[in-house]
Structures are given as structure tokens and as C-alpha cells.
Amino acid sequence: MLILKNLHKTYPNGVHAINDVTLAIPNGVFGLLGPNGAGKSSLMRTIATLQEPDSGSIHFDGVDVVKDKACLRRQLGYLPQDFGVYPKVSALELLNHFAVLKGLTHKGERREMVEGLLHQTNLWEARKRAIASYSGGMRQRFGIAQALLGAPRLVIVDEPTAGLDPDERNRFLNLLARIGEHVVVILSTHIVEDVTDLCPRMAMIGRGRVLLQGRPQTAIDTL
């Protein structure tokens, strides 16, 4: 369970990007819905400990995330919006490389983890191809494989479906649903259907505030 209480963040330019956000996020895929500029990325970067809130608290499974960043980082998988990949390297090579950086130094364990993730994300057949040759959907699935290294218990994915065609999108959302059976997944999106198709719970964000939250259909019907 991830619990945000009265979070605030104002950037030096005066934009109040997170304005008194309070949310309780259980296991499963939680949809963070809002238009561009609503504050979704700001909220996700703050949860991911890439920036500090000005005030308020974040607790993950009882641990104070603002005070104990290292603890959260060990449990975090983060797929940023502008995820960049190294084009001429294969998925297998790059995942192995990230796995070593994650501290998976035992060769057998590393292989098991990397091969498992390539299967889970449906990239096994393409594992030896350069990532540069991948479609948008394959790149996003590679991004998820990378985020899942180290078996995180909190997975954050920022606008992953933007630019995917319908097949790619469905495949990607199904993958997230399976991941959400075990851990907390936060999906940010500006596409209403991502949330209604996939998320048991959601919050709508606008100008840094939580405008409504709950089960998608119930919440959206109140609009």
C-alpha cells in the first residue's frame, strides 16, 4: 500500500504542480488520469524519490519514503515517459547489463531473472535483435522488462501508451494487468480508456489536484 498525505510541490518558476494530494493506493493497477500539464509526471517523480515534496508525506508499506529513499529505491521499478534506449544493443545484452547494475551478480540468478522477463514481456524471440529495430510496443515492453529487474514491489509507468497502435496498446495493458496481480502499479495516462479498460481504482488529476477518485466507472459517471 502506498499512502500519500497532503503532498505539495511548487517549482522555482511558481508552478504549483502538486497541490494537496492525498491518495491511498493498494496492490493492482492504479490509474492516474489527467491532461498534459496536470501534474502526473511531477507526482510520479516525487513518489520515485527523484524530487522531494515541499511538504506532506509518502509511505510505502509503512516506510517513510521521503526520509528513507534508499529503501524505496530498492523496491521501485520506474518507466519514465521519455525512456531512452541504446539502439544498437540487443534486449538480452542491455537487460543483463542493467541486472548487473541492480546488483544481480550471481550469474545463474541473473540469467533466470533476465530470461523470465524476456518471456513475460513477449520479447524472447526478439531478444538478440538490436532495440533500434523494435516497434514502439516492443520498446515499451522492453522498458517494462527493465523496470521489473530486481522484482520491485512498486512499479511506476508514465504515459506508456501514448503513440502505441491499438494492438500494441492492448498487449501492453494486459502485461500491466498481470504485473498488477502481485504489486502496486501506477499508470499515468491522458487516455480515459486506459483507465476504464484496466484499472480497478483511479484518480483524476487536474492542475496538481485530485479532482475525483474511486472506481473508474463510478468516478467518471459523477462528472
d(CA 36, CA 55): 24
- Specify whether the CB–CB gap between 175 and 147 falls below 8 A: no
Q: Out of 31, 34, 53, 77, point to the residue binding ligand ADP (CB under 6 A).
A: 34
3-class DSSP state of 177: helix
For residue 18, give every residue at least 6 positions away whose Cβ sits within 8 Å of its Cβ, in sequence order, or none.
7, 8, 9, 39, 42, 43, 46, 53, 208
Q: Out of 53, 77, 80, 137, point to the residue binding ligand ADP (CB under 6 A).
A: 137
Q: With CB under 6 A as the rule, give the number of residues binding ligand ADP.
A: 21
- Specify whether the CB–CB gap between 154 and 76 falls below 8 A: yes
Query: Distance between terminal CA atoms of the chain?
Result: 27
Nearer to ligand ADP, 17 or 195 (CB): 17
Nearer to ligand ADP, 42 or 75 (CB): 42
For residue 166, give every residue at least 6 positions away whose Cβ sits within 8 Å of its Cβ, in sequence order, or none.
none
Q: Contact between 82 and ligand ADP (CB under 6 A)? A: no
Q: Contact between 91 and ligand ADP (CB under 6 A)? A: no
Burial class of 166 by CB neighbour count within 10 A (0 to 12, 13 to 18, 19+): exposed
For ligand ADP, the binding residues in 39-78 under the rule CB under 6 A are 39-42
Q: Out of 5, 69, 102, 171, point to the residue binding ligand ADP (CB under 6 A).
A: 171
Q: Contact between 126 and ligand ADP (CB under 6 A)? A: yes
d(CA 176, CA 76): 15
Cell numbers found for residue 122: 513477449
Q: Which stretch binds ligand ADP (CB under 6 A): 61-69, 94-102, 134-142, 176-184?
A: 134-142
Q: Which stretch binds ligand ADP (CB under 6 A): 67-75, 90-98, 130-138, 215-223?
A: 130-138
Q: Which stretch binds ligand ADP (CB under 6 A): 63-71, 88-96, 105-113, 131-139?
A: 131-139
For residue 158, the minimal CB distance to ligand ADP (Å) is 7
- Specify whether the CB–CB gap between 161 and 169 falls below 8 A: yes
Question: Applying CB under 6 A, which residues contact ligand ADP?
Answer: 11, 13, 15, 17, 34, 36-42, 125-126, 135-138, 167-168, 171
